[in-house]
Amino acid sequence: MSKFFATAPRGLEDLLALELTELGLEDVRPTRGGVSFEGELKDAYRACLWSRVANRVLMPLARFEAADDDALHAGASTIAWQDHLNPEATLAVDFTGIKAVITHSRFASQRVKDAIVDQLREQTGTRPSVDIKTPDIRINVHMVRDQVTIALDLSGDSLHRREYRIGGNVAPLKENLAAAMLMRAEWPALAAAGGGFVDPMCGSGTLLIEAAWLASDSAPGLLRTRFGFLAWPGHDDQAWKALVDEALERQEKGLERLPPIIGFDHDPEAVELARANIRRAGLARHIQVSACDLADARPPQGLERGLLATNPPYGERLGENHELVPLYLRIGDSLKRHFGGWRALILNGAGCQIGLKPDKSWQLFNGPIECRLERFEIAVDGGQDRPEPAEDFVNRLHKNERQLKKWLKREGISCYRLYDADIPEYALAVDVFETSDGKWLHVQEYEAPRSIDPGKAQARLRVALSALPEALEVDPRRLVFKLRRRQKGEAQYHRQAAQGQMLEVAEGPCRLWVNLTDYLDTGLFLDHRPIRQWIGENSAGKHFLNLFCYTGVATVHAALGGARSTTSVDLSKTYLDWLQKNLFLNQQNSPAHRRFRADCRTWLADCDELYDLIFLDPPSFSNSKRMDGSLDIQRDHGELIDNAMACLATDGTLIFSTNLRSFRLDQRLLEAYAVEDRSAWSIPKDFQRSQRIHQCWFLRHRNPAQGDG
C-alpha cells in the first residue's frame, strides 16, 4: 500500500473525499487543499481516470525539513531519480507553499530541478531537458513553513482538462467545478429517476457535457491522451489498460439510458461552440443545443422534474455588478413560470438575488472569484417567494406616461426621463430611448443612504425591476440597469462594461448614437435638450465652439442648424471619435467641423479665434492624468468663463451650464458681463421634478448689439 494525495479546488475537499470513497479508495482523509488516500498504484490510476473533482493526483516520493535552499537541494538529492525519470525524458518542477521559508517559487523549483539534473548527469552522463508546458514527467514540490513534500504528479496536466474543448477556447467555468456543481445538486440521482437537464445559458457547453458524463457513468479522463504516469519508468501499463477497458464498457451501457439533456443560449456563436465541444466529447446524439433567449427556455416536453443548472455572467468580485440584477431576476422569473417541480442550481458570482430563496448554498471559488452555489426547489405552482406587485410604482409610471404623452408627441421627443425617484421607496431614474425597432429602458438606482435597511432596499429594487418591462411593454432584454454612485474625477466617463452596442436614436432633426451599456452615461444628456435645441435654432451662419464637448450632440445640432463652422474640444479620444460618428450619421463630415483633443483650459489660453456661439458645459470635477492639475468647477469657473469670453465675438453668446447642485456663480462675473439666468427655461418638462438638475446662464459682452436671445 502506498500513500497518495489528490488536490482539489478551494471549498471542494469534502466533495472530493466522498467521491474517492465511492471509488473504493481506502483511508480517505480530507485536508486543506485536497484529500489523502491509500492504495495500490492501480487505485491512483483509478482516481486519475474517474475523479471529476480533483485537479491532480500526487505520489509522494520524500518528506524532509529544509531551512534554506541548500537544504532543499540536499533533500531532493536523496531521491533515486533514475527510478522515476529517464535521462532522455523532459521534466518540469512545480512549487507551491504555505508560509514557506523559501518564498521565491521559481528559485525553489530551480533548486529541485538542479538536484535532479545533477544526479542523473553524474549517474548516466545525460541530463533531462526542461519542458514547462508538456513535460514527460512533472514533479510537485510543496512546502509548509520548513516541511517539504516532493511528489510525482501522476496526472501530468490538471485533471480538469478533459480534452473536449476546442483549442484556444478559454471557458468561464472549469470542468471539475462544473462537475462539482452537479454533484452538489445530486444530479446523478435525479437522472437515474428519469429527470431531465437544462442549461438556459449554456455558453461553451461545459455543464451539459459534465451532466451527460455523470448521468451515463462515463469516466471524465477517457478522452485524455496524456497522463503523468505514462512516461514514468514505474508505470503498470496492464493495470491501466484494464481500467480503461472497464470504463469504456460502463460508458457504452450508460449512454443508452441518458435522460434528455438540452442547452440554450441567446448567442448563436456560443451555440456553435457548444455543439463543437459536444461533438468532441462524443455526445452529439445525446445533447441538444439551440439558440434561444432565457425567457423562452423550457423543460423537455413531458418531464415534470429535473435539474436546471447554469453559470450566469458575473464580475470580478461578489456583489459588484449591479447591472446584472435584471438578468438574475429574469432567471428567477423563468424558473417560477416554467420549471415548477424542478430543482435549480445557480453559480452566483454577482451577488444578485433571483427572487427565490435557496434551500441550500455553498461557497465556491471560480478561479479567484468568490461565488455562492445556490440550490433551489421550485414550487409546482411557481408561486414560491413571488414578490408583491409594486402597484404604487407601476401606477406612477402610468401616470407619468399620461402626463407626458401629448408634450412628447407635440415636441417630437423620443428619448426622455419617465421616472426620477418620484416615490422615495423606489429610488430609481428611468429613461426611455425609442429606436426604430422598439423601446429601450435605461434604469439607474440611486445609492441608498446608510440609514436605509439594505434588505428592504434590495427587495423594493427587485420588485420594481420585475415590474418595469411589463408595465412599459418593453422586452426585458432591453432593460439596462446601473447603480449611480457619487462619482469622482472622470469616473462617470469610464467604461463600465465592454458590449459595444450602439443604438441609433433621434433628437429633433439629429440622428445620434447612444450606448446604454458600456458607460455610466449614455452619450446623450437628456436634461440639456432645450439648450441643444436653442443652439440648433440660433447657429445659422455662425462659428460655434463646443467646449468639453463629450459626444458632440450640441455640435450636431449646430451643424444641422446651418453653422458656418463648428469646433469641438475634449480630452477624450473616445468621445471625439463618438462625435465623428454622430457627424457622419447626419452627413456632416465637412472639414468645417473640426475636433481637437486637448485640455479645454489650455486650449482656451492659446485660442486666437473668435466664435459667435460658445457652449461651455464642464464636469463638476476632473483630475484626469492627461491634464495639468485638476478642475474644480466651483473654484475654477471664473477663470474658465473669462477665457471663453475672450474668444467670444462682440455680439456673441456664451452658454454656461453646470450640474453641480451646490454651485454659486461668482458675483464678479455679474459685473463683468451681461449675465442672464436661464436655468428655469433650460429644464425640460420631463426633468421638472427637480429645479436643481442643472443651472444655466447666457453671458454676453456688455453693450453689444443684442440678439433676440
Span 634-651, pLDDT tens digits: 999 999 999 999 999 999
pLDDT in tens, 140-190: 999 999 999 999 999 999 999 999 987 645 567 999 999 999 999 999 999
Q: Are residues 546 and 465 in the same domain?
A: no
Residue 47, in any domain of the structure: yes
Q: What is the pLDDT of residue 388?
A: 56
Q: Does residue 242 sit within a domain?
A: no
> pLDDT tens-digit profile of 318-368?
445 667 889 999 999 999 999 999 999 999 988 888 989 999 999 988 888
* Average of per-residue pLDDT values in the chain: 92
The verdict on 395 and 298 lying in the same domain is: no
Number of domains in the chain: 4
Instruction: Compute the average pLDDT of residues 421-446.
Output: 93
Same domain membership, residue 521 and residue 648: yes
Per the domain annotation, does 250 fall within a domain?
Answer: no
Asked whether residue 235 is assigned to any structural domain, the reply reads no
- All three cell numbers of 111, joined, read 533548486
Q: Which residues pair with 512 in a beta bridge?
A: 505
Indicate whether 415 belongs to any domain: yes
CATH number of the domain residue 452 falls in: 3.30.750.80
Rounded to whole angstroms, what are the CA distances from 233 to 76, 89, 220, 269, 515? 19, 10, 25, 45, 61
pLDDT at 489: 42
All residues at 6 or more sequence positions from 586 whose CB lies less than 8 Å from its CB, including other chains:
510, 511, 556, 559, 560
User: Residue 102 — very low, low, confident or very high, per pLDDT cuts 50/70/90?
Assistant: very high
| Same domain, yes or no: 573 and 638 | yes
Q: What range defines the domain where residue 663 resides?
A: 515-700
547, 654: one domain: yes
What mean pLDDT do residues 592-598 have? 97
Average pLDDT over residues 195-212: 97
In the prediction, which pLDDT does 485 show?
56
State which of 377, 408, 428 marks the end of a domain.
Answer: 377
Q: How far is CA 260 from CA 12, 175, 633, 654, 698, in A?
A: 28, 20, 63, 69, 69
* CA gap 499, 518 in Å, rounded: 6
531 shares a domain with 644: yes
Look at residue 230 and tell me if it is in a domain: no
- Do 611 and 549 reside in the same domain of the chain? yes
| Domain match, 192 and 98 both | no
Contacts of 438 (CB under 8 A, 6+ apart): 474, 475, 478
In-domain check, residue 603? yes
443 with 353, same domain: the answer is: no
396 and 423 assigned to the same domain: yes
Q: Which residues of 476-503 are buried (b: 16+ CB within 10 A; e: fewer)?
A: bebbbbbbbeeeeebebbeebbeeeebb
User: Do 621 and 529 belong to one domain?
Assistant: yes
- For residue 6, the domain's CATH number is 3.30.2130.30
706 band by pLDDT with thresholds 50, 70 and 90: very low
248 domain-assigned: no
The CATH number of the domain where 321 resides is what?
Answer: 3.40.50.150
Q: What is the pLDDT of residue 452?
A: 74
Beta strand pairing call for 428-435 and 415-420: antiparallel
Q: Which of 377, 403, 422 is the last residue of a domain?
A: 377
Q: Which of 377, 408, 429 is the last residue of a domain?
A: 377
Residue 441 shares a structural domain with residue 559: no
